[in-house]
Chains A and B, each alone.
Chain A
């Protein structure tokens, strides 16, 4: 059974965590009728964020884009995928896209919506930690490809 470095497994765990939070936000997005309530704090306000007109990119909800991103990253971070060196730049590029998108969304929350969603913040943190674990594992494999092969089989 394939295995990989601990940092490679960490990237898979972080991607799955991000996938879980994105799934929650997607469900919330499509079932807003069940949660027509205000949080106690007006600034930490997920509903204001997820129901704003910024919550869509064209016709696609941003929550769904997050779901697709973390599903793709989880697929790229399974142990057998870490053995494919050709995927290294793809994995890093997708992780970078995730982090840059997160920064744009933080800007939108702060300067356009005037509210912060803690669930969205959890997703943003996941994307940053994911980038770190992907970079770490990729650099480790580059530094020691023989060990990477032996530990991946």
Chain B
């Protein structure tokens, strides 16, 4: 890099005389070398000052961030908190959820559905010669808490659940303590459909994270990763439709118990029924696509036909 030399250094008194042949003398060469060394040292010092100017504030910021993280870790207050312990669902709750009156479902249609299923184009999902539904959830997850209600209402129109649990979502996440059912340990029998329901995590914390519950087999794990993008809830409806997340606003369930939610499902004017029953009708319409509109009594219901219009064509 060219720099103008100082006037002092270029004055005649400072300039050594040239040799007889016009070439630099030994003194000139030494002076030039000294100047070069001094210039290099000056440049190095300036570079060091610039480095300090930049690195000092950056180091301070990194140190402050590191202290914050260290304090957080040391305080032991980090991470999620345990929710209400799971228990077997009350008979009155399961009865109300698995037996929502057809008239109410027909009246609600799509209700307050916000996010319909999206179509899938992969291979059909089957088991034992029947279309298969894959549910992957976590008991701590508030969006799973919302979606389970609709899924259970819908699947109950094609078969029978047993062993359903009651649980609440995490108290330390969004929509805290949302009351819901648990599919961990539940079984489902249907002549039309097969269900694989896995709750990957509980709502109980151990060692700073939620305890593991069910395991996916390799094929379902691959689907959860590739199609579900590792998000809960993941519902693959026969390889034909995908539900990733909640189909309605979980806020509608705020502060309600399982019993209150289950009771509200039969009231078509209730916001809870409009959300849950509406989403259930859309899931039912998607299931009817898999079963060839069987059973006819369910798939030809006016609520299901109305909900089918909300399904995107796949």
Q: Produce 1/0 per residue, A104-116, CB < 8 A to B.
A: 0011001100100
B230 interface hit (Cβ, 8 Å): yes
Q: Produce 1/0 per residue, B99-117, CB < 8 A to A.
A: 0000000000000001100
Q: Is the Cβ of B57 less than 8 Å from the Cβ of A135?
A: yes
Residues in B neighbouring A147, C-beta threshold 8 A: 1
B144 interface hit (Cβ, 8 Å): yes
Q: Is the Cβ of B115 less than 8 Å from the Cβ of A144?
A: no
Q: Is the Cβ of A33 less than 8 Å from the Cβ of B54?
A: no
User: A33 CA to B245 CA in the complex, in Å?
Assistant: 10
A73 interface hit (Cβ, 8 Å): no
- Distance in angstroms from B253 CB to nearest chain A CB is 13
Chain B residue nearest to A124 (CB atoms) is B65
Residues in A neighbouring B231, C-beta threshold 8 A: 37-40
Q: Produce 1/0 per residue, B40-69, CB < 8 A to A.
A: 000000100110011001100110110011
Q: Is the Cβ of B144 less than 8 Å from the Cβ of A38?
A: yes
Known: A43-B79, A111-B72, A147-B1. A38 touches B138 (CB 8 A): yes
Interface of B is mostly: mixed
- The size of the chain B interface, using a CB distance under 8 A, is 46
Q: Choose among B49, B61, B200, B245 the residue that contacts A37 (Cβ–Cβ < 8 A).
A: B245
Residues in B neighbouring A114, C-beta threshold 8 A: 77-80, 172
A71 interface hit (Cβ, 8 Å): no
Q: Which of A45-53, A56-64, A83-91 contacts B (4 or more CB under 8 A)?
A: A45-53
Known: A136-B54, A140-B50, A143-B46. A36 touches B79 (CB 8 A): no
Which of B114, B174, B200, B233: most chain A Cβ within 10 A?
B174
Residues in B neighbouring A52, C-beta threshold 8 A: 174
How many A-B pairs have beta carbons closer than 8 Å: the answer is 101
Chain B residue nearest to A129 (CB atoms) is B58
A34 interface hit (Cβ, 8 Å): yes
User: A36 CA to B68 CA in the complex, in Å?
Assistant: 30
A128 interface hit (Cβ, 8 Å): yes
Q: Is the Cβ of A135 less than 8 Å from the Cβ of B54?
A: yes
Q: Is the Cβ of B65 less than 8 Å from the Cβ of A103?
A: yes
Interface of A is mostly: helix
Q: Is the Cβ of B233 less than 8 Å from the Cβ of A139?
A: no
User: A45 CA to B72 CA in the complex, in Å?
Assistant: 17
Which of B46, B57, B200: most chain A Cβ within 10 A?
B57
Known: A106-B65, A110-B72, A139-B53. A38 touches B141 (CB 8 A): yes
B209 interface hit (Cβ, 8 Å): yes
A-B contact pairs, 16 of them (CB 8 A): A33-B114, A36-B146, A36-B246, A39-B232, A42-B80, A43-B78, A52-B174, A106-B68, A107-B68, A110-B69, A110-B72, A128-B62, A135-B53, A136-B50, A136-B53, A146-B4
**The 9 residue pairs across chains A and B that have the minimum distance between CB atoms:** A37-B245, A38-B141, A37-B231, A36-B246, A36-B245, A139-B50, A38-B232, A40-B230, A110-B72
Binding site for A on B (CB under 8 A): 1, 3-4, 46, 49-50, 53-54, 57-58, 61-62, 64-65, 68-69, 72, 77-80, 114-115, 138, 140-144, 146, 170, 172-174, 200, 209-210, 230-233, 244-246, 249-250
